[in-house]
Chain A
Amino acid sequence: MRGWVPAGLRTGVRTTRYPDAEETAPGVSPGLPRGGRAADGAGGALADRCPTGAIVTEDHGIAVDYRRCVHCFRCARGVPAPPDWQPGYEWAASVRGDAAQPLGPAFARSLRILVVDAGDCGACLREVKQLSGPYYNMHRLGFFVTPTPRSADILVVVGPVTAHMRSPLVQAYEAMPAPKRVVAVGACALSGGVFGPSFASAGGVAGVIPVDVMVPGNPPPPLAILHGLLVVTGRRPSAALRSPAAAPPPAPRAEGAP
């Protein structure tokens, strides 16, 4: 294996500096629409165009439910008044409230993740996989993928939970020792996405096992998933799952021109 080590060294460090600094490279995130005021009728038109009902009209504006947004860009392209578009990626939100605290400092440097594919299209899984690659390298933050629930602290679930994957998912969750946290990744895992609840899928993880952190996106970019892992360990603040019409959404670092 001569040659490989120099080749690796020649490549240099490509790893993002997130969460110490913002990642500004182009193309790392598709962004999300933002709720806000809308001209009369424009809000309704946007809500009508949204195929998953993520956009709803709300006192003279639109609100966006990020659990449902599937990045279809129906609201952004070919309409006279598109909503504001926020480019960031810190979208993950803690949803258990007080029921589950973030995993404490004991888990700060070594956290085992079991990834369960409950019927995703392949994109979320591919983005989770990118986290182990050189660009995102979640190992530097103490996150490691494990193949067995017996040694897992976090269960990352992608996909809308198909009928066939329901029992394996429940079994995996039950096989994990406490304390354990569940991170649902992607619109399908949050709301069923375009597959919705149907005869063949449960329409989201929350209906099957308790979810602690939700990461919106279709698929969420790797940085959003990383944010989800940081939220579950209490190392980054949680974002909101809903962008209301009235107030601007709390965006700790991801502001900037839409």
Chain B
Amino acid sequence: MVLTLKKAVIATLATSAITTSAFAAVDIVKIDGSSTVYPITEAVAEEFQKETGIKVTVGVSGTGGGFKKFCRGETVISDASRPIKAKESKMCADAGISFIEIPVAFDALTVVVNKDNDWAKEMSPEELKKMWGPEAQGKIMNWSQVREGFPSLPLKLYGPGADSGTFDYFTEAIVKKEKSMRGDFTASEDDNILVQGVAGDKGGIGYFGLAYYAENKDKLGAVNIKNKEGKFVPPSVDTVMDGTYNPLSRPLFIYLNASKAAFDPKVKKFVEFYLANAGKYSKEVGYIPFSKEEYDAIIAHYKTLKTGTAFKDGPAIGLSVKEILDKATD
């Protein structure tokens, strides 16, 4: 662990000549990245600034756009709704920036149907795959094709666009292959549009974060999803926290610039504040907090300054917080 940090320091020193001064204390804690993680970071930044007077800014460039800025050293923290990709990891390494991967909260991808839909109360990942998989394109167009006994009604699919981390996670959890989904669904980057779509269409089905369902319970129904243990589980704070809502609960991350998080007093203070309050604020903005023990483990992980990602070999579904922390490697 100390070794990885040493590497980080050496790498930063080596590149500090060409990039901006690596050890100059930052004036403003600059954060950018995912719009999904934004509400948590916004809440933390708001309270942190009130308490300490240290200035914090948060941008929304999306997870990918955020990593680009992060690996150029323009930001010290990056919000991410999916783990860093090998390509992005390499971009950071080339720039001499090493990072610490920190899970901050869970989000439950919620499959929703129209309020008048009284047949699809429970579904299995296999059935979802039948609907959303690339083979379904142009073929599975009616509810009756999904399961025996479903009514004959046109199937209308609504989902986030292919650039979104939500799309990535759903594809990997359901189709079990990266970027592999049918293309003939109504896509929108704005989840409120998806809410409108499913709410206005009896044959509609879609998916997005739990917070959007929670705000629209009067218009939508949530589908119980069959988990690994074979039980149909509704999405909720409790089922995500006790781990029974799988495979559609996903961790959200922040990535820390390792040398800044280790040496810059303001960044350090901010990260400590973030981790101490992540549970409270993530719950407040509609996400699901980890357990107290898990946050303690995350804080310990941060203190060791262990760099790298647990997702070196590509995306993985259903890792626990402990596994994510333990598996982190450069």
A, B co-complexed: no
> Taking beta carbons and an 8 Å cutoff, which residues of B are in contact with A?
none
